[in-house]
Amino acid sequence: MRSRFQPLNTLRNQIFIGFILVMLIMMSVAGAFIYLNVSHLLKDSAERHIGQTAVQASGRMDALIGQMDSLTEQVANHPSIQHILLKERNGGKVNFGQRQSLLQVMHSYQAYMPSVGSLELYTAEGKMLFPIREGSLEDRIGQADIREANQMKGRLVWIGIDPEDPRSLLAIRQVSLVDRWFSRGGYLITRMERSYFRLSDASAVNEEADETMLLVDRQGQLLSGEPLNQTDLSGVLHSKTQTVHIGEREYVKAIQQSERTGWSLLILIPVSVVTDGITVLRTTLIISASLGAVLFLFMSFMLSTLITRPIGHLIQAMRRSREGALALNPEPAAAVELRELNAEYNTMIVDINELIRVICEKEVLQSQTELKALQAQINPHFLFNTLDAFNWSLQEKGEEELAGLMVSMSRLFRYVIEPAHHDSWVTLGEEMAQIRRYLELMEMRLGERLSWQIHMPSEAAQIPLPKLLIQPILENSILHGVENRIGNGRVEISVTPSTRSGWTKIAVIDNGPGMTLEELAAVRTALMGGSVCQSKGTGMGLVNVQRRLALYYDNESYPTDGVLIHSAEQEGTVVAFEIPDEYGGR
């Protein structure tokens, strides 16, 4: 299972998925925080709006109740009504004419308030005085309402729905006789249309907000307002929850109870209206989150590409390097870290190419040296046997000096043409012994024209160096210095400690004719450019020595200045170089 998804486990996909997870977490937290807080604000705003509407409607209802209370009080205190009820209370008989006179009084008040359907007047014993017909108070309303009217002592009592006309509402008040110490003189019943308590105009935003205002009595019966599917609203009134279900709709309720009537003003707003803002908010958040997700995905893709593309190019360059193409990766990167990584890779490629070049040159040089050594080893045993025969022959003839020269020549040849499997590194003491044998042979050839000296401290004898490193310089010194000089020539090999700690300086000094400035510049240019200028005898010139010094010593641990030449006309020449005391060895 893991191997199936292994190709997808790339740095680019990891960055991409990581960014997506971070984006989802951040957007979820931010969206939830915004949604909850804004929802809470919208809910509080809706509740405040409902409360304000309830207060406004309650104020309007109190104003209507106050108007009706004032009207009935004026009717109850009218002189004609007070006179008739006082006469009835004192045991007098109210005739038809007196009852007929009440018609004008009642009509005048009804004209003042058209919503009042009728006014009914009863005596203290419950006998109807107006309208002019037979009837009693107990037949009109219940005993409980009469007792409540007596308890209120002249204040208006709201009964509710008219039993005889469900489209009307009833209110009763006890008429107190002013001239009889405000004793009970009778009862005044007011019948009004339900539209009197039309409260839907209390708020200018009711229609826009789809609000429903209902006036409900103590028993939960609807007194005023648009009828709903549920006529018994007692359950709605006594519900402790903020939302109620009426029919198939869910409403948010607000109840404002009137202290003067005991009725309740019920305001219902559909939940869909309250949550409409939350729905818009949710839709806005979803759209914003979708757009943000698309933008974030695009930016994540671009950022991951910006990071991984240079790495991919660098990997391709490494693969080409593994196949043998050690080429630089010129791909620029935007990030500083990636630029540094690419620069380090290019530096490594340059160093590797340089190391390969040095190794190749070293191998070529070693191959050439071994080839020359092999060429010089043509039948070496025959050569050594011949030299030994000369040595014994000269000793038999008493030529001890010539015999010694034969021994020196034999040892010289053995040192030069030593088999290739022997180590190419020797000690400075071994190299100086070879130099001494060579100088002895040159002294025999040149006679008094050559004098030489070797100065080497004993502690320098064990310093390692490549074999035949001094020989080419010495040959050039004899060839171009001593042999080109008229008179005696002198060669000196000096081994001294260098000014650099742990290094030794080797110098070959002659008193030959020296070089002009042009000749010296040409030699130095040849050394720097690597052009070959071979010297007679060994076949290895100064350039060969320069290249060997560079191959063996020119690195970070053992930097070398190469071959240094100082010369002037008629003052001789000094050729020197420095080697470390602890490098190489057998």
pLDDT of 457: 94
pLDDT for the residue 243: 79
Number of CB atoms found within 10 A of residue 186's CB: 25
Rounded CA-CA distance 299/28 in Å is 19
CA distance 274 to 276: 6
State the alpha helices, DSSP H only, in 239-275.
271-274
Query: Residue 438: what pLDDT?
Result: 86
Which whole number is the average pLDDT over 521-531? 81
pLDDT of 205: 38
- Look at residues 207, 183, 319 and name the one whose alpha carbon lies nearest to residue 269: 207
Q: Could you write out the DSSP letters of every residue in 312-358? A: HHHHHHHHHHHTT---------SSHHHHHHHHHHHHHHHHHHHHHHH
Counting beta carbons within 10 angstroms of the beta carbon of residue 412, is it exposed (0 to 12), middle (13 to 18) or buried (19 or more)? middle
Specify the long-range contacts of residues 454-461, CB closer than 8 Å, at least 24 apart: 454/492, 454/493, 455/492, 455/493, 455/494, 455/495, 455/496, 456/428, 456/429, 456/432, 456/493, 456/495, 457/495, 457/496, 460/428, 460/495, 460/504, 461/427, 461/428, 461/429, 461/432
Over 80: is that where the pLDDT of 569 sits? yes
pLDDT at residue 333 in the model: 62
Task: Identify which has the larger pLDDT, 260 or 173.
Answer: 173
Same fold, 16-195 and 206-277: yes
Q: Is the predicted pLDDT of residue 378 greater than 70, yes or no? A: no
Contact between 264 and 237 (Cβ < 8 Å): yes
Number of Cβ atoms within 10 Å of the Cβ of 145: 20
Which of 137-151, 219-233, 351-365 holds the top average pLDDT? 137-151
pLDDT-above-90 percentage for the chain: 14
417 pLDDT exceeds 70? no
Looking at domain 16-195, its CATH class is alpha beta
Answer whether residue 204 shows pLDDT above 50.
no
Residue 583 has a pLDDT of: 67
Name which of 290-294, 452-456, 488-492, 501-505 the model is least confident about: 290-294
- What was the pLDDT predicted at 246? 77
Query: Of the given ranges (127-141, 230-244, 393-407, 471-485), which has the lowest mean pLDDT?
Result: 393-407
pLDDT in the model for residue 202 = 42
361 pLDDT tier (thresholds 50, 70, 90): confident
End-to-end Cα, the chain, rounded Å = 57
> pLDDT for 7-29, tens place per residue?
666 666 777 677 778 777 887 88
pLDDT at position 199:
65
Distance of CA 320 to the CA centre of its chain: 34
Q: Taking 70 as the threshold, does the pLDDT of residue 355 lie above it?
A: yes
Mean pLDDT score, 70-84: 90
What are the Cα distances from residue 8, in Å, to 2, 308, 457?
Answer: 10, 14, 70
Task: Name which residue leads in pLDDT, 238 or 67.
Answer: 67
Above 80 in pLDDT, residue 125? yes
**Amino acid (1-letter code) at residue 430:** E
The whole-number pLDDT of residue 533 equals 46
The torsion region of residue 444 among left (phi > 0), alpha (psi -120 to 50) and beta comes to alpha
Tokens of 110: 């009804």
d(CA 502, CA 507): 17
* CATH 1.10.3720.10 is held by the domain 423-586: no
Q: What is the pLDDT of residue 345?
A: 77
Distances (CA, A) of 527 to 25, 120, 547: 70, 141, 9
Question: Of the segments 32-36, 213-217, 221-225, 245-249, which one has the largest average pLDDT value?
Answer: 213-217
- Mean pLDDT across the chain: 79
Is the CB of residue 216 less than 8 Å from the CB of residue 263?
yes
Concatenated DSSP letters for 163-224?
SS-TTEEEEEEEEEEGGGTTEEEEEEEEEEEGGGG--TTSSTTHHHHT-EEEEE-TT-BEEE
Q: Could you report the per-residue pLDDT of 418-475, keeping only the tens digit for each?
A: 654 445 788 999 999 989 988 888 888 788 888 999 999 999 999 999 888 898 899 9
Q: Decide if pLDDT at 493 tops 50.
A: yes
Query: What would the pLDDT profile of 134-186 be if each residue is shown by its tens digit?
Result: 889 888 898 988 898 888 888 899 888 888 888 899 999 999 988 888 888 89
Place domain 206-277 in its CATH homologous superfamily: PAS domain (3.30.450.20)
Domain chopping of the chain, boundaries: 16-195, 206-277, 423-586
Is residue 504 very low, low, confident or very high in pLDDT (cuts 50, 70, 90)? Answer: very high
